[in-house]
Amino acid sequence: MNKVLLRGLALSLAAALVINNPAMTVRADDKKATEKEATVTGQEAEKEAGEEAGEEAIEEAEIALNKTKKTIYTGKTFKLVLKGITQKVSWWKSTDESVATVKGGKVTAVAAGTCDVKVRYNKKTYTCKITVNDPYIKPDRDYMRVGDTMKMTVKGDKALEYKSSKPKIVSVEEDGTLTAHKKGTAKITATCKSGRTLEITINVYDQIKIIENPTFDDLAPTTHMTFAELVGNRGEVGYPKAMPAPDTYRITVDLYWKVIMVYARDNNGEYTIPIRYMLCSPGKSTSQTPTGTFEMKGTRVRNSRFNGLTVWAQFWSLITGRIYFHSILYNSSNASDYTASYSRLGNAASHGCIRLTVPDARWIYYNAAPGTVVEIRSGSSKDSATKAIKNKLKLAAMPSVRPTLKAKDIPWTDNWEIDEVPQDFKYVRVPQ
């Protein structure tokens, strides 16, 4: 029998079996259905399990304190809430009840200090860091000048009444506005809603010299000085005896335009009143003057040479690090030995310090107290206001024949004197 005939007989026999036994077909169909059902059921179980896991993750992620850190004043309270929970917490605790206590999430500030408030839930601990401060009187500053007004407030409590120990020196209104009438010291007391009494001492100083409606020459007196006055040494020695308060002036150094601008406060406490404009030489590209906002240091040096060099400068005032305001350079302590550094004023030429004419360096030496804020900015070519100042800062030309500069022959035409400098704080010398 050939192979084709045998294959045909086999197919016929298989067909007959299926026709004569329908149960076989049902069982086959049942098997397919069961397999399909099992597959669907498995997929649904995986999906449900995934959804449940996701819900648990979301639920766990949503459980958190409404605050993780808080600053509060003594006697005040606030409420901590553990969000996202479905049952009661196990406990609330404070790590230092002398600073703050907690009950049911309500935190009460007891005394100044720091501590943690913790809550336990579902075998996990959640923490809020607490800082407690005592209430205090907040003025803009603890000193005033004759004629100044200043508003003060109480932080962390409510002031019901203000009083001055010496109203003829400093008077105070119901809303906490202070007015300085004459030089002296007064204590201002605030009686608060909590029953506590707060106190602050205000020192009143003489007003600084401000020229009314100043001309450009008033703000930049070096523009009408002779070369001898700009580089000479009048022979004065020593250090400041006292200086203005540190926030009397704010100094801005513009590196692009090589200009320094000094401002005093207006009636709103903003530094908008121009006091002095100066031409300077900041650091060159290989030794740039650092930018940023700095508080001047206490070091002052009247006339000294650079460490390890035979180059000198007058009226050194430390800004930060080893960066000083100082005069132009000299080859000795004799002002007649001035160098070409004078002709570089208005250009980047130093090793990082800021060079000035002698009168300008002298002004900073006596008037810019330790703590005075100095902003050194990069500047911009688009700054038309500073550009206009730079264009007007023209100094006397350096003479072709070197003059002999004797102290007794150096003129003095600047618009201030040392005895006009406010003596707010005693100067304490800081060695170089």
pLDDT tens digits, one per residue of 232-288: 999 998 899 999 999 999 999 999 999 999 999 887 789 999 999 999 999 999 999
Q: Which class is domain 216-426?
A: mainly beta
The answer to whether the CB of 370 falls within 8 A of the CB of 296 is yes
- Indicate the fold that domain 64-133 takes in CATH: Immunoglobulin-like (2.60.40)
User: What would the mean pLDDT of 116-137 be, rounded to a whole number?
Assistant: 95
Angstrom distance (rounded) from CA 324 to CA 284: 15
Angstrom distance (rounded) from CA 169 to CA 187: 10
| pLDDT of 53 higher than 50 | no
Mean pLDDT of the chain: 88
**Residue 43 pLDDT grade (very low, low, confident, very high; cuts 50, 70, 90):** low
| pLDDT of 19 higher than 50 | no
Helix, strand, or coil (residue 217): helix
pLDDT of residue 123: 93
Cβ count near 173 (within 10 Å):
11
User: What would the mean pLDDT of 156-177 be, rounded to a whole number?
Assistant: 95
Question: What are the start-end ranges of the E strands in 360-431?
Answer: 373-377, 425-426
Angstrom distance (rounded) from CA 379 to CA 280: 14
| pLDDT of 24 higher than 70 | no
**Residue 11 pLDDT grade (very low, low, confident, very high; cuts 50, 70, 90):** very low
Domain ranges of the chain: 64-133, 136-205, 216-426
pLDDT of residue 4: 42
pLDDT of residue 31: 46
| pLDDT of 33 higher than 70 | no
Between 213 and 3, name the one with better pLDDT: 213
Kindly give, in sequence order, each residue whose CB lies less than 8 Å from that of residue 294, ignoring residues fewer than 6 positions away.
319, 320, 373, 374, 375, 376
Angstrom distance (rounded) from CA 18 to CA 311: 117
The answer to whether the CB of 138 falls within 8 A of the CB of 152 is yes
**Residue 140 pLDDT grade (very low, low, confident, very high; cuts 50, 70, 90):** low
Q: CA torsion 280→283→285→287, rounded to 10°?
A: 170
pLDDT of residue 3: 44
Residues 352-404: tens digit of each pLDDT = 999 999 999 999 999 999 999 999 999 999 999 999 999 999 999 999 999 99
Output DSSP code: residue 68.
S
Strand order in the sheet with 373-377: 271-279, 259-265, 249-254, 373-377, 292-295
**Residue 432 pLDDT grade (very low, low, confident, very high; cuts 50, 70, 90):** confident
pLDDT of residue 350: 97
Angstrom distance (rounded) from CA 74 to CA 361: 48
Fold agreement (64-133, 216-426): no
Is it true that domain 136-205 has CATH number 2.60.40.1080?
yes
Angstrom distance (rounded) from CA 14 to CA 304: 118
pLDDT of residue 424: 87
Residues 93-106: tens digit of each pLDDT = 999 999 999 999 99
pLDDT of residue 266: 87
Angstrom distance (rounded) from CA 108 to CA 99: 9
**Residue 15 pLDDT grade (very low, low, confident, very high; cuts 50, 70, 90):** very low
| pLDDT of 334 higher than 90 | yes
With a pLDDT cut of 70, the percent of the chain lying above it is 86
Taking the model in full, what pTM does it have? 0.68
Angstrom distance (rounded) from CA 274 to CA 363: 14
pLDDT of residue 60: 53
Indicate the residue type of 114: T
